[in-house]
Amino acid sequence: MAEAERIIGTPDSAGADESAASDDGTAAPEERPKGRRRIVALLVVAVLAYLLDLGSKMLVVAKLEGREAIPLIGDLLRLDAIRNPGAAFGMGEAFTIVFTCIAAVVIIVIIRLARKLYSLPWAIALGLLLGGALGNLTDRIFRSPGVFEGAVVDFIAPAHFAVFNLADSAIVCGGILIVFLSFRGVDPDGTVHKD
């Protein structure tokens, strides 16, 4: 996990010590609340993404599973409930427990990074990743065929593309935002590098 923190570029407390203390040795009042607001933003985004995913899957299982696909935009977009034991695009069906462990590690890394978070865009990106990972991890833990081997409920079916769910969408959007922020030189601690 320390390696992930190093790659993402979050500094340890070395740089924070200089900015967090004033001349008389007391903590600067603006530093901590700003960071707390970013953590709250991360948590709000994660909870919203998780609840939207969980609610949509419950609705799909109750109303759509075992029925014909529902066309939304002709043949371009349908709602079609499937159970996916593998990763994205249905690959790796034999490695369900591996994907469960990867999701758990991602969640732990995001929680560890949150304490060093001072960038709102990074908070949103990590919140999307966290909410999406929690959504799919919930399926893998609680859905059949068993604990840590459950199949994820997918239902958004674009033409000529894999079927996915809202958790997958949150993960992809969070990942795209992280790539964009990295190209812009924005670090999770709010610093900007102009290389």
Instruction: Name the β-bridge partners of 73.
Output: 77
53, 154, 187, 189: the catalytic one is 154
Q: Is there a catalytic annotation at residue 154?
A: yes
Q: Is there a catalytic annotation at residue 168?
A: yes
Could you tell me which of 131, 132, 133, 151 has the C-alpha nearest to residue 141?
Answer: 151
Look-up of token digits 């929690």 = 134
C-beta atoms surrounding 116 within 10 Å? 21
C-beta atoms surrounding 29 within 10 Å? 9
Amino acid at the residue 40: V
Torsions phi, psi of 191, nearest 5? -75, 150
Amino acid at the residue 150: G
Give dist(CA 160, CA 107) in Å, integer: 31
Distance of CA 15 to the CA centre of its chain: 27
Is residue 42 within 8 Å of residue 130, measured between CB atoms?
Answer: yes
Which pair of structure tokens corresponds to residue 191?
């610093």
Could you give the residue numbers annotated as active site?
Answer: 154, 168
